[in-house]
Amino acid sequence: MIRRQVIDPAFPQCPIRNVLARIGDRWTLLTLLVLDAAAQPLRFKELCQALPDVSQKMLASTLKALEADGLVQRQSYAEIPPRVEYVLTDRSRTLLPLLHPLVDWSHRHLDDILASRLRYAEQQAEAAE
């Protein structure tokens, strides 16, 4: 028995598709965690440095998506040189406590999962002979 309203992809406003798909993308979750760990507003450049291999383009589009969803707030100051800071919102602060257990789970199970992947790859290689 499936809880269709919650997980049915045919349900026009399937929450999983609309919400989790976004935090599941490559940089969104990482960005939220960096802001959370910093516990203070961060500038574009600081975020860029905290995520060593994000490109400016991807960080910019990630931040725009987060801002559109009301998960970060963008504060721009009319200064020279310009300064823009990003902060978590009340909405994202209700989300982060749910994300931490997931991060911890990943951390705890990483070694086992990597071992499983290796074993699986070996089995596939054997079967191919």
Q: Residue 39: which of 75, 86, 71 has the closest Cα?
A: 86
C-alpha distances (whole Å) from 91 to each of 62, 72, 81 are: 17, 9, 30
DSSP secondary structure of 15-54: HIIIIIHHHTSTTHHHHHHHHHHHTS-EEHHHHHHHSTT-
* Position 58 contacts DNA (CB under 7 A): yes
- Note the residues at the interface with its own copies (CB under 8 A): 1-3, 6-10, 13, 15-16, 18-21, 23-26, 29-30, 33-34, 37-39, 50-54, 67-70, 91, 94-95, 98-99, 101-103, 105-107, 109-110, 112-114, 116-117, 120-121
Minimum CB separation of residue 127 from its own copies in Å reads: 13
Residues 99-118 that bind DNA (CB under 7 A): none
C-alpha distances (whole Å) from 37 to each of 26, 28, 50, 129 are: 18, 14, 11, 48
Minimum CB separation of residue 1 from its own copies in Å reads: 7
d(CA 8, CA 13): 9
User: Residue written as tokens 């961060």?
Assistant: 42
Residues 34-53 that bind DNA (CB under 7 A): 43-46, 53
Minimum CB separation of residue 79 from its own copies in Å reads: 20
Q: From DNA, its own copies, none, which one binds at residue 122 (CB under 5 to 8 Å depending on kind)?
A: none
What residues make contact with DNA under the rule CB under 7 A?
25-26, 43-46, 53-58, 60-61, 63-64, 74, 76, 81-85
